[in-house]
């Protein structure tokens, strides 16, 4: 299903969803994010809230973008499908983390 821009009526390019196996999930879980000054942050951070060019999600370009010779309003890259036993957690002020274990039920 194509994502259409509500202002222009033109489509976004949709990247296929990545599938991370247990080895890739474990590697990303151990990775330590560093800011622009090299200060280490918490491990397992796969997308920073303050990133001006996010890897995952929808990104719109004012003039559009050429991908493989076709013109799009922007692109959409879904979060990866993770191996069994891993989940994504959004932490305000930081971003999206990969976690290991059973995903907690936050709805009460």
Burial class (CB in 10 A: 0-12, 13-18, 19+), 38: exposed
Strand 70-77 with 13-14, pairing:
parallel
In a domain, 55, yes or no: yes
Q: Is residue 42 part of a domain?
A: yes
pTM reported for the whole predicted model: 0.80
Residue 51 forms part of a structural domain: yes
**Is position 106 within any domain?**
no
Distance CA 2, CA 4 (A): 6
Flag whether pLDDT at 28 surpasses 90.
yes
45 domain residue, yes or no = yes
Please check whether residue 95 is in contact with residue 47, taking contact to mean a CB–CB distance below 8 angstroms.
Answer: yes
Residue-wise pLDDT tens digits, 42-76:
899 999 888 888 889 989 888 889 999 999 999 99
Helix (H) or strand (E) holding 60: strand 57-67
CA–CA gap between residue 51 and residue 10 (Å, rounded): 25
User: Considering its fold, how many domains does the chain have in total?
Assistant: 1
Does residue 107 lie within any of the structural domains? no
- 104 or 28: whose pLDDT is higher? 28
- Residue 13: the pLDDT is 93
Alpha carbon distance 53, 59 (integer Å): 8
Owning domain of residue 62: 13-100
Task: Give the pLDDT score at 89.
Answer: 93
Residue 108 lies in a domain: no
**Lowest mean pLDDT across 24-28, 89-93, 102-106:** 102-106
pLDDT at 93 over 90: no
Predicted pLDDT at 36: 81
């Amino acid at each position: 299903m194509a994502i259409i821009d509500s202002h222009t009526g033109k489509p976004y390019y949709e990247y296929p969803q990545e599938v991370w196996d247990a080895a890739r999930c474990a590697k990303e879980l151990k990775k330590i994010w560093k800011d622009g000054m090299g200060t280490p942050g918490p491990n397992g951070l796969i997308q920073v809230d303050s990133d001006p060019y996010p890897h995952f999600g929808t990104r719109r370009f004012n003039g559009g973008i050429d991908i493989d010779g076709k013109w799009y309003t922007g692109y959409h890259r879904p979060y990866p499908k993770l191996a069994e036993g891993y989940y994504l957690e959004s932490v305000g002020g930081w971003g999206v983390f990969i976690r290991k274990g059973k995903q907690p039920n936050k709805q009460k």
